[in-house]
Structure 1
Amino acid sequence: EELILPGGGKAKYEMAYHPLVVGNYEGSVTFVNDLVGELWYKLLLSSLAPEPKAMPEFQCELGQHQSKELTITNPSSDYLVFQLFSDNPRNFTFSPKTVSLEPDSEARVVVNYVPSSLSHAESGKITAKCVTMDLAP
């Protein structure tokens, strides 16, 4: 893109940061002008683990199952592949187990709950791991 400013002019330049991995990173942005040359800015970038999102409570009779949908979003401009994991596969399964997302898109995953006990509440955590990063050179 091109940003043209008159002498002494000001403008806001908006950038988006869509981290896929938790941590601290360095980046840079460079603006080039034929008269002034390059203006280089160092960026200190930080990404935190996302807050877990709670699903509405599942309730069904023993021997039955209940399904609910959750949405996985790809806000980035890259094609991403996510693999899903359950820390309680006895009670919580999902389909599909792998989700491929085009840039700036979302997909729905069906979570299935099958109760195995009447005596205590069952819980589970479903994690979506971006495996595209594992495949990067």
Structure 2
Amino acid sequence: MSTSRSIVPLALSLLSFLAAPLPAAAQGAGDPILEANGIKYACAGVGKASRGDPRWKSFPVRLEFAAANGDFLGDPDVTITDAGGKQVFQAKCNGPWVLIELPAGSYKVHATGQKAQYSKDFDLAVKAGGQTKKTIRLP
């Protein structure tokens, strides 16, 4: 009988472990939301599930990196400076979309890619409300 008494708590413990909710990453929540220099961002766009993730609509900025033929380009390293020239954001992503929670304002963006070997500078005007979407086509 002492064996059955020790098995019951073990079985209950195992059942509660199996019934516990999985962490978000294990539930297939997709690409994580990260933070750099106090600014939330996400690297996304790889696969249909990632591109259709409803969380991306809440980000004020969506940068999409693509080749001239429209194929997505991954691995962008993005640096953003404000109108005064101060760097406000920098991150290296593994996907072709970079979603950034930037406040409204005027910015300069410098993007490079190692695999596709590109470098591109451009202006970015972020408006209050809605999402500023910019597709960066590279040769």
TM-score, length of structure 1 as denominator length: 0.28
Using CA pairs under 8 Å that are at least 6 residues apart, name the structure with larger relative contact order, 1 or 2.
Answer: 2
Name the one with the larger helix percent.
2
